[in-house]
Structure 1
Amino acid sequence: MLGFVGLGLAVLGTVLACIPAAFGIGVVVLLAAFVVSLIGLFRKGAAKWPSIVGMILSVVGGIIGSIVLVVSLLASAPGPVDPIIPTDTPSSSSSEQPSTDPTAGRPSPEELSETILADLQRSGMHQYDDDPEWVACWGKYAYDSDLSDAALREYVETMDVVGEERELMKTVSSDATVFCSSQ
């Protein structure tokens, strides 16, 4: 009889341990199931198989519940954020058209720094507001990149690059973010 009680507790504990919110309760029930099954194993005249299955299920249930908990915690962890991907695309009728004047030249690292900070703030990201070194590093990295003067000027004027260099801008932005965060 005690073996069946341990087996029942092992089944209940396994189910509870696989629910991340009830993991702690499930572990306690699994421990109780293991102890009850162990005691049932040494009782004379009682069937041994429910106790053995209860002990095995207690251990396996604890392992499965732990894996489910770790996977659910990793799945709910916030991932890296790419601050440059625009949330809206400027319309073609916008008054903020990029300059096509080739004499406009390459924006300075300071202009790029001011733009990235404004772009981040526009996106609701304020983690770099009090980090002028990171902002200056990002501006210098973008300035030194392979992006054309026109693409950088377009970014300074519209906070976006919509032409052929859009993907390169995303790559440069991501690389600059990683590089400057590690400095």
Structure 2
Amino acid sequence: MLTAGIDEVGMGCIAGPVYAAAVVLPADHGIVGLRDSKRISAGKREQLAVQIRQRAQLFAVASASVEEIDTLNILSASWTAMARAVALLDPRPTLCLVDGAHAPKLEVAEVRAVPGGDRTEEAIMAAAILAKVARDAEMVRLDALHPGYGFAKNKGYGASAIAALNALGVCRPHRRTFAPVRSLLSG
């Protein structure tokens, strides 16, 4: 049975795309230090991402755009990114373990939601790390295009992201359907 771990990054922020990754790890992968991506420093995530890409049997990273988030809603957009990541895997896994309480329909034999999977399943941990590294790189790129918003540092999350939004106004990477952005646009 070919089992992939799947996770997403970027659901709760006010700017930027949502990313997802799918990873199939061999039993003897030898990657030391896999854990919840939120509990690892950026530098360590980068190091682990290199190892994951080198040692994974299969991996893929995909995203859903801000426009898709605003059109579909964030949950559907994150599931779209997950489906895109799985579709890039060849061969297709027979089982996908998805971090969270709910899982999308995917073009595989079986999909299983794993609440807390980013703390218990190594393939999900690896997927979260790849997705986070890819999304962070995109936010750094967006920071260069939209200076002043602090995207390289805040990644579109938290009080500093909202403060920059309020000070500078809405720019292209902002999710227009998210409350802080929507209220500024309607205000």
- Which TM-score band applies after superposition, normalised by the shorter structure? under 0.3
| Bigger share in strand | 2
TM-score (norm 1): 0.21
Larger relative helix fraction: 1
Q: Give the TM-score normalised by the residue count of structure 2.
A: 0.20
Larger Rg: 1
